């Protein structure tokens, strides 16, 4: 670390994802001396991978619907979004020379659809503002005496002191990109309450037959609707698509239900997601079509002609239908409109797009500072919240980094004015 100018506060940010980089930007703009430490050889690795297929920055739906995506944590996250929400995020990207557009689904993307140009422009601006980056510096916790931050580096262990610290260490998914959850034990050792990290926006295991697994693994199931009724009776229906995998299912439609499905599996051992294979057709009309004489047509041909069911949808139907179901139009139509997909387990945490759990909000004050470690603030996915894909995850990560940085500034200002 460079020696700061006299009277200039020094802040260390640990973690160079969206939350950490946003905190660094707010702090450096306020005149702080900022050093960013990250365990990986380069910054923003998970951010770059997430944007590989098109960076979904945020979503254009109305504020009430947007906030509802954070479920039980909506009240905690609302103040972040009031200051740095979807509109401010798009304005911020425009300030980096990255224009955005709203897709047909309401999702917001950079015009170039890539994360790399935005990250390059951002890092250039941060470095120009004086932010110093330290790659391959893995945080090890605090020293036994004095509270200095410990880091392992290619040249051995070092210690670093700062006036304030922002921890933005990510969750527990995609460890190869830096989010390995190793920080959990270090905070817990200091008495910080951390809720168990669990998969979010994840795939699920299904006990497929060998026949379906061999035939359909890797094939997308498009234009379907899914319904889930939680143990408490709450009913959710969404349209979309998903992918058959060797072990079960994954994809955007599955991720939209993942929190409720995961919680149901944890509570009862399994969860049933009902699939409507032809959401545009009413059941009465479907029964009428399926009741038409087949003649010499096979059941496969009959399903294709009368119900538009073929390919992977036909394979799914055969996976769950008994022979008698295929011969009785009413029972067959009922299965097509509500196919029971039984999910038996979540996929491992490291395979998930994100994680639930993390630092309990009750362990933090209103500035996102740890109650038990004054001067240390937390941001991003390491906090105990979750959100579906669609721009909600990224938006709250950016917003939490902004909120934590504002908390640092308020805390430092109060410390300067406090009577000695």
Whole-angstrom Cα distance, residue 398 to residue 338? 39
Q: What is the pLDDT of residues 160-207, one digit of tens each?
A: 999 999 999 999 998 888 889 999 999 999 999 999 999 999 999 999
- The residue-averaged pLDDT of 265-281 equals 96
Q: How far apart are CA 322 and CA 223, in angstroms?
A: 24
Is 1 a residue whose pLDDT tops 70? Answer: no
pLDDT confidence of residue 420: 54
Q: Does 275 have pLDDT greater than 80?
A: yes
Full strand arrangement of the beta sheet holding 345-346: 339-343, 271-276, 220-229, 235-244, 248-250, 204-205, 345-346
In order, the DSSP letters of 272-291 are: EEEEES-TTS-HHHHHHHHT
Q: Of 283, 315, 346, which residue is a domain's last?
A: 346
Q: Are residues 318 and 367 in the same domain?
A: no
Are both 185 and 235 inside the same structural domain?
Answer: no
- Please compute the mean of the pLDDT values over residues 49-71 and round it to a whole number: 90
Question: Are 192 and 305 in a shared domain?
Answer: no
Kindly state whether residues 222 and 308 are assigned to the same domain: yes
Task: Answer whether residue 2 is part of any domain.
Answer: no
Rounded mean pLDDT of 82-92? Answer: 97
The domain that contains 74 carries what CATH number?
3.50.50.60
Q: Which domain holds residue 301?
A: 204-346
Q: Which of 323, 346, 369 is the last residue in one of the domains?
A: 346
Q: Are residues 127 and 231 in the same domain?
A: no
Mean pLDDT across the stretch 368-397? Answer: 96
Q: Which of 293, 320, 346 is the last residue of a domain?
A: 346
73/208 same-domain check: no
Question: Do 245 and 365 lie in a common domain?
Answer: no
Mean pLDDT, the chain, integer: 93
Q: What is the mean pLDDT of residues 258-287?
A: 95
17 in the same domain as 68: yes
d(CA 298, CA 372): 70
Q: How far apart are CA 201 and CA 385, in angstroms?
A: 12
Mean predicted confidence (pLDDT) in 85-103: 96
- Quick one: residue 130, left, alpha or beta (phi over 0 = left, psi -120 to 50 = alpha)? left
Residues 268, 138: one domain? no
- Same domain for 338 and 384, yes or no, is no
Report DSSP letters for 161-225, one per residue: --SEEEE----SS-GGGT---THHHHHHTTT--EEEEEEES--EE----HHHHHHHTT-EEEEEE
Structure-token pair, residue 261 = 């499905």
* Structural domains in the chain (count): 2
C-beta neighbour count of 295 within 10 angstroms: 7
Are residues 270 and 139 part of one domain? Answer: no
Q: Which pTM does this prediction carry? A: 0.91
Residue 19 has pLDDT above 90, yes or no: yes
For 286-302, how does the pLDDT look when each residue is reduced to its tens digit (9 = 90+)?
999 999 998 888 999 99
Classified as helix, coil or strand, 113 is coil
């Amino acid at each position: 670390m460079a020696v700061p100018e006299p009277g200039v506060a020094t802040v260390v940010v640990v973690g160079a994802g969206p939350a950490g980089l946003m905190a660094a930007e707010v702090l450096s703009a306020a005149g702080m001396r900022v050093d960013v430490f990250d365990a990986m050889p380069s910054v923003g690795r998970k951010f770059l991978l997430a944007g590989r297929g098109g960076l979904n920055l945020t979503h254009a739906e109305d504020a009430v619907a947007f906030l509802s995506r954070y479920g039980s944590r909506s009240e905690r996250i609302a103040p972040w979004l009031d200051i740095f929400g979807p509109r401010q995020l798009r304005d911020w990207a425009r300030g980096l020379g990255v224009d955005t557009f709203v897709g047909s689904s309401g999702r917001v993307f950079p015009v170039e659809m890539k994360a790399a140009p935005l990250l390059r422009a951002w890092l250039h601006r941060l470095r120009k503002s004086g932010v110093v980056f330290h790659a391959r510096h893995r945080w090890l916790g605090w020293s036994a005496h004095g509270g200095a931050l410990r880091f392992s580096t290619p040249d051995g262990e070092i210690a670093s002191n700062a006036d304030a610290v922002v921890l933005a260490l990510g969750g527990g998914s995609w460890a190869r990109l830096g989010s390995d959850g190793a920080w959990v034990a270090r905070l817990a050792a200091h008495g910080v309450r951390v809720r168990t990290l669990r998969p979010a926006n994840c795939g699920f295991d299904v006990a497929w037959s060998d026949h379906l697994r061999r035939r359909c693994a890797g094939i997308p199931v498009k234009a379907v609707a899914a319904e889930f009724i939680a143990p408490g009776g709450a009913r959710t229906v969404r349209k979309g698509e998903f992918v058959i995998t060797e072990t079960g299912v994954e994809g955007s439609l599955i991720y939209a239900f993942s929190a409720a499905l995961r919680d149901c599996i944890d509570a009862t051992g399994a969860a049933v997601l009902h699939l409507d294979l032809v959401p545009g057709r009413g059941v009465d009309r479907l029964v009428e079509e399926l009741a038409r004489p087949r003649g010499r047509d096979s059941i496969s041909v009959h399903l294709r002609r009368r119900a538009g069911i073929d390919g992977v949808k036909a394979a799914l139907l055969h996976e769950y239908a008994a022979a008698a179901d295929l011969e009785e139009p009413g029972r067959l139509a009922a299965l097509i409109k509500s196919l029971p997909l039984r999910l038996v387990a979540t996929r491992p945490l490291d395979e998930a797009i994100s994680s639930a759990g993390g630092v309990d909000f009750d362990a933090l004050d209103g500035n996102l500072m740890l109650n038990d470690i004054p001067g240390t603030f937390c941001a991003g996915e390491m906090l105990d919240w979750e959100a579906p894909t669609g721009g909600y995850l990224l938006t709250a990560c950016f917003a939490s980094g902004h909120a934590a940085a504002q908390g640092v500034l308020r805390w430092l200002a109060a410390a300067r004015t406090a009577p000695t």
